[in-house]
A and B are shown apart, each in its own frame.
Chain A
């Protein structure tokens, strides 16, 4: 089983609908992230969380919200989906990145969202 699991993997929805993308991890990491990827634009950070009580906006948080239900779970919501939110969404986790580790990101397999 994957260490970082995203559901759903694919979703097609209509404008105005509420959508939730879920992420769970078994790596025991405190830090979790949501990125979106659009062709030619790389990965852009939406929200990140360094522990259950810590939520931070990334560079493109407008139109999104998140919930950190537990250390292992981090959900991304689109309250009212619009077509320009059509993208590939990645959840990622990391450890702190001190001397004992690199702080690299471990990614889920991605959730492809299409908003019609």
Chain B
């Protein structure tokens, strides 16, 4: 069973702070990694994609990947109340038969 573990929430941070979301995965064959954001009652939307070890930055979001440690994280700088949502980590198993396995998600609340 391929497992994806995310830090248990809910996570609460004040506005302007850095929110840190963590994810570990068991499948060493995972090649790429997705972070989705899901507002309550809405469908998930992609916010970050990373496939190389190291950091990838996109605006206020930074994804960090360490394949040796089987760990991927998402940092949200200058958190805003509009960032309040559930964040889902999803490794891609790779190869032609790939499919995404989602973690249970971490609920983030940013307090004004």
Contacts and interface: CB of A to CB of B under 8 A. Distances in A.
Contacts of B99: 33, 45, 48, 58
A105 B43 CA distance: 11
> Per DSSP, are chain A's interface residues mostly helix, strand or loop, or mixed?
loop
Nearest to A104: B46
Interface stretch (A16-24, A35-43, A66-74, A79-87): A35-43
A96 B46 CA distance: 16
A50 B98 CA distance: 10
Interface residues of A, number: 22
Interface string B74-102: 00000000000000101010001111111
B103 A42 contact: yes
A103 interface: yes
Interface in A60-109: 90, 96-97, 102-105, 107-109
B49 interface: yes
A43 B104 CA distance: 7
B34 interface: yes
Given A90-B43, A97-B92, A41 B104 contact: yes
Interface of B: 32, 34, 41-46, 49, 88, 90, 92, 96-105
